[in-house]
């Protein structure tokens, strides 16, 4: 984070930013300098004099006011805002203001003040209360989102309703039009399009009947529909893909740099079907080495404005559920023509680097190529070569691993943060039922590929960003520095476990964050602190505005390496090719920004769909283990319950506070603990507890535990 942060046209110092954050946490009352200082971590390095000077300047620039001598509060003015409304489980909602920055607070709307708004609608809200948790009421609905919901059909007396699985509003959706009575009880998709005045139910139209509830295919398709993804492609899109020939025309090959005689391989998961990237490696006569990062040339097949392009943009990304992949492109392209399969000539867009013995890049080249992969490695096979030094490609993979490790060391030295989170996968039977929950193992071979993809993404972004002035419009992957308020909260949280996080400067934050992540390795609190660290970060998004990436400590970053499964990478390929040929603007920055926002939105939906499918499979796995006892770690605390993750299989469930016998338990948010009123027994994040599985409902994606002593 920089020492100065611009807020509302004024540059605030680090001290002023911290002071303003504390006052926003106390929007209704006044505070003096000493009280504010007591709320700021000692590591920030402030004293009473610095806090008082910050308060005087905040008052001078209109960010604070001093109603009584020495007493300060945040200054507010009446306002109305426009934004998108989203609901929570209680039936209340939050509105995200338009053009909101990472530190903008959402407006809380009580269920009584919704004014017939539906999730995803664009609304106008009157702000009633301010501070860190402002509240408001919906004045009017500006536009409907027409969001789709899945659930079971209830058909009777000529009327049909959808009893939605996950709708946060408390009424069923009345279906407009006739519905066959034979569909009663079937799982379906309905699009909510209105909520008329003086009506008890929102109106919706029947979009698709998915099938009998509870079957694996039906429920997986329901998850996809819930988050706006289609299973199949429109006929005209499939037809366009099928029209491409398996043969590469000679005229196309003549225009490309030929890498077919240079040793090239792919390294992917053992069950992968689409191969986005390949690596070539050779030593040059001058003692330098050449590393080629070859990416599937999707832009050759998916031309701008085509039906394939329109459908790919609409989807935005491939979706990876617990038991299947829903590709962004039809199979003819994703698993065949665009996939860099072994022993076949394939079209690529390549980033080629010439490096010295210190792994400093001396030359870089970007352009269209034709390659021929001679070996397809699984991560396990590549790791075996790296570990033993035996087998085909063992020497090359060993040298590539050394290069990758050098890049990683340089990255961490520059401040890149080392987040390593476990990925869950399921061993399934023929009907998709989970037999075992596993943690995906990460090898040096994984990191090898990751480092080379990071290299290509960074260098492409650097090339575009520094090509000329004024800068040419491009699409970047950006990650902002975490908001100060979250860092304060994370610092307090770490103290509960005896760890110190220095947030005084960006360099100190990076160093202490990496120190923490190393110190907690293999400790019971590792998962909890990892998750809290991630939650303190902002989300990485696509944008045309800036190229910096806080987490990686890169000034320049884009996504160039996965156009088979990510639409922004396809945009990056098209723009780079245009700028290699002509240094003229290909498309406006505003249009790129619109596409970037859509891509970020679809990426978020895909992540939510993946989590939903994981929760479904976890509940399905524990359905056969009701009554069994496990050791678990407290992973979350709320006013209604304790969330716990089973150590053996990573399945997470909830213990309702009302179900804990022998005492009445309360949640203390500031201390992140639950405590019994009489016994003073406490449960805190990271505690290891014993639980019994008492309920597992795959349809609701819900797991319930009971505290147990055994």
The pLDDT assigned to 671 comes to 79
- What would the pLDDT profile of 394-421 be if each residue is shown by its tens digit? 999 999 999 999 999 999 999 999 887 7
Four-point Cα dihedral 371, 375, 380, 386, nearest 10: -90
Q: Which residues 6+ apart lie within 8 Å of 672 measured at CB?
A: 493, 496, 637, 684, 685
Tell me the pairing of strands 345-355 and 289-296.
Answer: antiparallel
What's the whole-number average pLDDT of the chain?
A: 91
Based on the domain organization, do 557 and 452 belong to the same domain?
Answer: yes
Contacts 24+ apart (CB under 8 A), 395-398: 396/263, 396/281, 397/445, 397/448
Based on the domain organization, do 239 and 359 belong to the same domain?
Answer: yes
Report the Cα–Cα distance between both ends of the chain, in Å, rounded. Answer: 48
Whether residue 572 is contained in a domain is answered as yes
Q: How far apart are CA 580 and CA 577, in angstroms?
A: 5
Handedness of CA 325, 326, 331, 333 (dihedral sign): negative
Radius of gyration of the chain (CA): 28
Whether residue 415 is contained in a domain is answered as no
Whether residue 158 is contained in a domain is answered as yes
- What would the pLDDT profile of 59-103 be if each residue is shown by its tens digit? 988 888 888 889 998 876 657 889 999 998 788 999 988 876 655
* C-beta of residue 293 within 8 angstroms of C-beta of residue 455: yes
Whether residue 292 is contained in a domain is answered as yes
Based on the domain organization, do 265 and 369 belong to the same domain?
Answer: yes
Whether residue 128 is contained in a domain is answered as yes
Based on the domain organization, do 263 and 344 belong to the same domain?
Answer: yes
DSSP string over 189-220: EEEEEE--TT-SS-EEEEEEEEESTTSHHHHH
Whether residue 222 is contained in a domain is answered as no
Based on the domain organization, do 258 and 332 belong to the same domain?
Answer: yes
Domain residue limits at 138: 80-143
Residue 193's domain is classified under what CATH number?
Answer: 2.40.50.700
* C-beta of residue 157 within 8 angstroms of C-beta of residue 129: no
Handedness of CA 38, 42, 45, 47 (dihedral sign): positive
- DSSP 8-state code for residue 393: T
Residue 54's domain is classified under what CATH number?
Answer: 1.10.10.10
Is the previous residue joined to 470 through a cis bond, with omega within 30 degrees of 0? yes
The pLDDT assigned to 10 comes to 67
Length of the chain: 710
Low-confidence spans in the chain with pLDDT less than 70: 1-10, 27-28, 76-78, 100-104, 129-132, 710
Domains of the chain: total: 6
Whether residue 548 is contained in a domain is answered as yes
- Burial class from Cβ neighbours inside 10 Å (0-12, 13-18, 19+) for residue 146 reads middle
Based on the domain organization, do 174 and 297 belong to the same domain?
Answer: no
Tell me the CB-side half-sphere exposure of residue 338, using CA atoms within 13 A: 28
The pLDDT assigned to 62 comes to 82
Q: How far apart are CA 294 and CA 557, in angstroms?
A: 18
Based on the domain organization, do 605 and 530 belong to the same domain?
Answer: yes
Pick from 24, 45, 74: which residue ends a domain? 74
The pLDDT assigned to 6 comes to 42
The closest alpha carbon to 612, from 704, 528, 705, 698, belongs to 698
Q: How far apart are CA 495 and CA 511, in angstroms?
A: 17
Based on the domain organization, do 643 and 596 belong to the same domain?
Answer: no
Whether residue 537 is contained in a domain is answered as yes
Q: How far apart are CA 694 and CA 33, in angstroms?
A: 51
The pLDDT assigned to 7 comes to 43
Strand partners, 31: 72
Based on the domain organization, do 459 and 525 belong to the same domain?
Answer: yes
* C-beta of residue 316 within 8 angstroms of C-beta of residue 567: yes
Q: How far apart are CA 617 and CA 619, in angstroms?
A: 5
Pick from 126, 143, 160: which residue ends a domain? 143
Q: How far is CA 470 from CA 464, 465, 466, in A?
A: 11, 10, 9
Residue 642's domain is classified under what CATH number?
Answer: 2.40.50.140
The pLDDT assigned to 669 comes to 83
Pick from 74, 98, 128: which residue ends a domain? 74
- What would the pLDDT profile of 641-666 be if each residue is shown by its tens digit? 999 999 999 999 999 999 999 899 99
Helix (H) or strand (E) holding 109: strand 107-109
- Burial class from Cβ neighbours inside 10 Å (0-12, 13-18, 19+) for residue 386 reads buried
Based on the domain organization, do 384 and 243 belong to the same domain?
Answer: yes
Based on the domain organization, do 558 and 649 belong to the same domain?
Answer: no
Based on the domain organization, do 462 and 568 belong to the same domain?
Answer: yes
* C-beta of residue 544 within 8 angstroms of C-beta of residue 589: yes
Tokens encoding 399: 């040298």
- Which residue is listed with tokens 């994984």? 446
- DSSP 8-state code for residue 566: B
């Amino acid at each position: 984070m920089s020492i100065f942060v611009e807020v509302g046209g004024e540059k605030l110092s680090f001290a002023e930013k911290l002071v303003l954050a504390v006052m926003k946490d106390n929007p209704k009352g006044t505070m003096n300098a000493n009280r504010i200082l007591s709320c700021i971590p000692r590591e920030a390095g402030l004293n009473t004099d610095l806090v008082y000077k910050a308060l005087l300047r905040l008052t001078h620039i209109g960010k604070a006011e001093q109603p009584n001598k020495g007493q300060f509060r945040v200054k507010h003015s009446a306002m109305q805002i426009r934004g998108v409304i989203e609901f929570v489980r209680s039936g209340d909602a939050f509105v995200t203001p338009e053009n909101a920055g990472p530190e903008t607070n959402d407006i809380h709307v009580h269920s009584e003040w919704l004014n017939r708004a539906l999730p995803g609608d664009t609304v106008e809200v009157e702000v009633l209360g301010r501070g860190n948790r402002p509240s408001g009421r919906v004045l009017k609905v500006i536009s409907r989102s027409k969001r789709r919901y899945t659930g079971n059909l209830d058909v009777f007396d000529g009327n049909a309703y959808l009893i939605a699985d996950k709708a946060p509003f408390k009424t069923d959706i009345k279906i407009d039009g006739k519905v066959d009575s034979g569909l009663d009880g079937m799982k379906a998709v309905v699009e909510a399009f209105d909520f008329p005045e003086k009506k008890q139910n929102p109106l919706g139209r029947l979009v698709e009947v998915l099938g009998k509830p509870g079957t694996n295919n039906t429920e997986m398709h329901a998850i996809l529909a819930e988050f706006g993804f289609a299973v199949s492609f429109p006929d005209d899109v499939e037809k366009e893909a099928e029209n491409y020939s398996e043969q590469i025309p000679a005229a196309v090959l003549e225009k490309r740099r030929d890498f077919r005689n240079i040793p090239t391989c792919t390294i992917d998961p053992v069950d992968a079907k689409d191969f986005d990237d390949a690596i070539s490696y050779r030593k040059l006569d001058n003692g330098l080495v050449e590393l080629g990062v070859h990416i599937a040339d999707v832009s050759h097949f998916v031309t701008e404005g085509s039906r394939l392009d329109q459908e790919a943009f609409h989807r935005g990304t491939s979706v990876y559920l617990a038991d299947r992949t829903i590709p962004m492109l039809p199979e003819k392209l994703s698993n065949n023509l665009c996939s860099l399969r072994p022993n076949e000539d394939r079209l690529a867009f390549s980033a080629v680097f010439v490096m010295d013995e210190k792994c400093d890049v001396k030359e870089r080249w970007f352009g269209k190529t034709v390659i021929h992969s001679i070996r397809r490695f699984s991560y396990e096979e590549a790791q075996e070569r790296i570990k033993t030094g035996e087998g085909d490609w063992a020497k090359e993979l060993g040298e590539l691993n050394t290069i990758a490790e050098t890049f990683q060391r340089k990255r961490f030295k520059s401040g890149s943060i080392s987040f390593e989170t476990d990925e869950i996968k399921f061993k399934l039977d023929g009907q998709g039922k989970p037999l075992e929950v596993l943690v995906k193992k990460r090898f040096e071979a994984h990191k090898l590929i990751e480092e080379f993809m990071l290299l290509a993404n960074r260098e492409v972004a650097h090339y575009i960003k520094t090509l000329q002035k004024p800068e040419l419009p491009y699409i970047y992957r950006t990650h902002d520095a975490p908001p100060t308020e979250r860092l304060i909260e994370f610092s307090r949280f770490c103290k509960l476990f005896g760890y110190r996080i220095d947030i005084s400067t960006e360099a100190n934050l990076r160093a202490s964050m990496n120190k923490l992540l190393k110190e907690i390795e293999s400790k019971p609190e590792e998962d909890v602190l990892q998750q809290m660290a991630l939650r303190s970060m902002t989300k990485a998004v696509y944008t045309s505005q800036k190229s910096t990436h806080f987490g990686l400590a890169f000034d320049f970053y884009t996504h160039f390496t996965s156009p088979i499964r990510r639409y922004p990478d396809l945009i990056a390929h098209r723009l780079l090719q245009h700028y290699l040929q002509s240094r003229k603007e290909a498309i406006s920055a505003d249009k790129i920004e619109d596409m970037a926002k859509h891509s970020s939105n679809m990426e978020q939906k895909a992540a939510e769909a993946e989590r939903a499918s994981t929760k479904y499979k976890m509940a399905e796995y524990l359905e056969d283990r009701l009554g069994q006892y496990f050791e678990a770690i407290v992973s979350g605390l709320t006013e209604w319950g304790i969330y716990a993750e089973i150590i053996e299989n990573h399945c997470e469930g909830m213990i309702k506070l009302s179900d804990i016998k022998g005492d009445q338990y309360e949640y203390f948010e500031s201390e992140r603990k639950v405590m019994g009123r009489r016994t003073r027994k406490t449960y805190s994040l990271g505690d290891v507890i014993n639980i019994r599985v008492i309920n597992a409902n795959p349809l609701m994606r819900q797991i319930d535990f009971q505290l147990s002593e055994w």
